[in-house]
Amino acid sequence: MTLKINKADERTHLLGNNPSQSTVNIIQDIKNEVDEVDDNGSSSISMVNPLRESMETIERATELEFTYWIMKKRQWSRIQRGTFTNEKRGFSILWFLFFMIVYGVYLFLQIYHFERIDGYILEFILMGFISFSLGLLVPRFAIIVRIVFLEVYSTLYLFFIFNLYYEKQYYIPLISLGSGVLVFSIICFFVYPYIMRCIFSITGAITLNVDKDQWVRGESNRFTIKQKNLFQKPSTCIYEGPLLDGRPHGIGTWMDTSYQGELLTGFWEDGIPLGPFESMENDTRSLLVNLRIIYGTNGGGKSWLDRIPLNIGVASIECCVSGNFFKGYPKVSMIKGPDLCKCQNRCTCIQSLLDKKYYRHIDDDKTITSIVVSLDKKMDALAISGFKPLHPKNKTVSIEIGRQENVQKLIVDNNWISSQSNEGILFIHGYDHDLKDALKRFAQFLALGHFPNYIKPFVFNWPSSTSPLLYWCAHSVASDNDNHRDLQKFIESLGQSGIRNLHIMCHSMGTRFFLRSFSKIKKAFAKRKPIVYSSSNNNNSNNNENFNNNNNNNDISSSSNSGFVQQPEQDKSLKYINKINLTNLIFLNPDYEINTFKNDYGELRNYCPRITVYADHRDEAIKMAFRITQKRNLGNNIFGIVDDDGGMLDVDIIDTGDLDSNMSERHHSFFNINRLMVDDLHDLIVTGKRAMDRTSRLKSVGDVFRFSILPSTVVVV
């Protein structure tokens, strides 16, 4: 492809310094610039070479062609995939009526025009069944699949209308016609990018403008690519950011003014937006977020039931967070691994991934502009997310506006110390998940919650099967000691990497897997020891004994609302160096027996100050588990749990039975897409508030908590 390079005046930064300027205005300004750019100063690439060896050359800038086509493929892919509709389960009344009307025309022609009745009843029934089925199923598929269905249906339609049963001489022409149309459709969808590339190469429809004659390698620069279109107004693509070998590399911004083009800001590598990044579509204003997750997996084999040696890696997952939800999303790409863990004693695989910057957060290069300060009622002290108090029961904090490299940021006084990214959240999935399923589910939750960068996300994937018919097999695997040892090794690797505070989320049968393994993995956690409170601070501790972490790793308390403090540990032996504080245990629709949980509770409380259970009496998956095991299940329990002595276990039971948005009829797997659930979990993890303190959305009803929400059917009051 030939690019024409024009030297234009140096422009300001793409996003400007005015935060009040909206993205829509930016796009409109660029569209206006397209009509004002003067092309008289253009010259060919061969005539321009003003740079020395220490600089990027304008010839190397033609490597932006590679990025241009990568972004165009992303754009065309979203258009082809289509989006989920608001109709229940993908049903569309328009598509259903279309096929029914076409079938009605078919019956009219066959019966009244051609007078075909006797001997055609089975044909009528067959066409009716096909038409009815397509009316129900077609809306669930992407555009290309719909077109294929329509072409096959049209071929069959013509075959029956013209009564070609015994007209064998027409078989080959009809099949040739149908096959030709099908091949043409596939070419249009899958070869279209290459066709357009050839057209642009021949016609010279793309030109490249640079913002200055010289630019230093790695510095932020601005490049404008103009595209001429036959039937539409010219569009503009702009990249602003550093280059490496002529391709975007580092933190940069891309903007495309064409329909469903992107405003994408984030991390680029070798011309590809690998993430993390944030993107907004032009015109539709749909928002996409790409983030990275560190994972460990020992699942594989047929139906994902076989254990394999522990593998560790980093994945990049792109999710929809607002506007259209595109089919095929979330999308998973492996950044690193899965690589076999070969560590014999202490596992340093995760530390190696962090050191080599395979894991990144979208906010890593941003300054602090907001800080969450909350009241720890039990400790009668302040709690600040992302910071630890220098002294327990710190009741004051001073926050000032400072500057770092001419950028304003918030600065906390010296009595509070940053957690320095030593906090993590581990997700353990449930039944019927492979590695990509687990990554997609957790990434969607993280994308909607937008958790702060000091909390690192982790996923552990175990062989839970990928077939709904293998429940008992997965049930047995969840109690397998070899799998538990892999989880223990993974958690100990978190400790080796510097994680000192860990939140664990278990969904469905993942709860069984975690609790069955706790006797082994508890060795990686710091045990808590009893402490005595004054009567003024002991009002909420009647039903449970209070403990203090016995861990030498944190000589400073983490910000939590647990009612417990962490005191400096005197024993500095190697045994306790990498112990982790188990900050939260969160069980989402847990597939676990209540009586067994009662037996486990005491040991769990020795290590974790906050245990939260989200349960739903409508959960069909948990009901099915009850029919199989004939044991009362924690996931359907919406009442307080009574111990053997008649007291209530200090567990926050959250009844999700009032939630009715973004969930299927099974009411089992919605924690990552229901807005209220995501917000409540975010509040629990980031601020450390117990359910009694999350009053903005939870109300206490007896011994449980319910969401304060109106039914989705109420639209006017």
Top pLDDT among 27 and 698 is at: 698
Q: Give the gyration radius of the chain's Cα atoms.
A: 30
| pLDDT for the residue numbered 217 | 56
Confidence of residue 146 (pLDDT cuts 50, 70, 90): confident
**What does the alpha-carbon distance between residue 102 and residue 489 come to, in Å, rounded to a whole number?**
61
Q: Over pLDDT 70: what percentage of the chain?
A: 78
Is residue 683's pLDDT more than 50? yes
φ, ψ for residue 307, nearest 5 deg: -85, 135
Reported confidence tier of residue 567, pLDDT bands at 50, 70, 90 = very low
User: Which pLDDT does position 345 carry in this prediction?
Assistant: 82
Distances (CA, A) of 576 to 79, 352, 642, 644: 54, 21, 35, 34
Q: How confident is the model at residue 348 (pLDDT cuts 50, 70, 90)?
A: very high
Is 80 exceeded by the pLDDT of residue 20? no
Q: Would you place residue 366 in the very low, low, confident or very high pLDDT band (cuts 50, 70, 90)?
A: confident
Higher per-residue pLDDT: 629 or 132: 132
Q: What is the pLDDT of residues 692-710, one digit of tens each?
A: 989 889 999 989 999 988 8
CATH, domain range 424-528+577-707: 3.40.50.1820
Which of these ranges, 237-251, 450-464, 512-526, has the smallest mean pLDDT?
A: 237-251
Q: What's the pLDDT score for residue 699?
A: 93
**pLDDT over threshold 80, residue 74:** yes
Strands 277-281, 262-268: parallel, antiparallel or unpaired by DSSP? antiparallel
pLDDT value of residue 263: 94
- The strand pairing partners of 294, in sequence order, are 314, 458
Backbone φ and ψ of 118, nearest 5°: -65, 130
pLDDT in tens, 506-560: 999 999 999 999 999 999 999 986 544 443 333 343 344 334 443 333 333 333 3
Q: What is the pLDDT of residue 295?
A: 97
Most confident of 36-50, 566-580, 599-613: 599-613
Average pLDDT for the chain: 79
- What is the chain's length? 717
Q: Is the pLDDT reported for residue 658 higher than 70?
A: yes
Examine the pLDDT at 5 and tell me if it is beyond 70: no
Q: Could you tell me the two tokens for 432? A: 């019927």
Q: Which residue would you say has higher pLDDT here, 176 or 481? A: 481
- Maximum average pLDDT range among 92-101, 309-318, 682-691: 309-318
What is the model's pLDDT at position 93? 86
Cis status of the peptide bond prior to 276, with omega within 30 of 0: yes
Q: What is the dihedral of CA 616, 630, 612, 488, to 10 degrees?
A: -130
| Range with the poorest average pLDDT among 245-249, 284-288, 649-653 | 245-249
pTM of the model: 0.77
Residue type, 142: A
Kindly list the domain boundaries of the chain, sorted by start residue: 368-418, 424-528+577-707
Q: Which pLDDT value is given to residue 23?
A: 41
| Contact indicator for 34, 234 with CB cutoff of 8 Å | yes
pLDDT reported for residue 50: 27
Of the ranges 219-228, 269-278, 425-434, 684-693, which one carries the lowest mean pLDDT score? Answer: 219-228
Tokens of 640: 């307080």
Over 90: is that where the pLDDT of 49 sits?
no
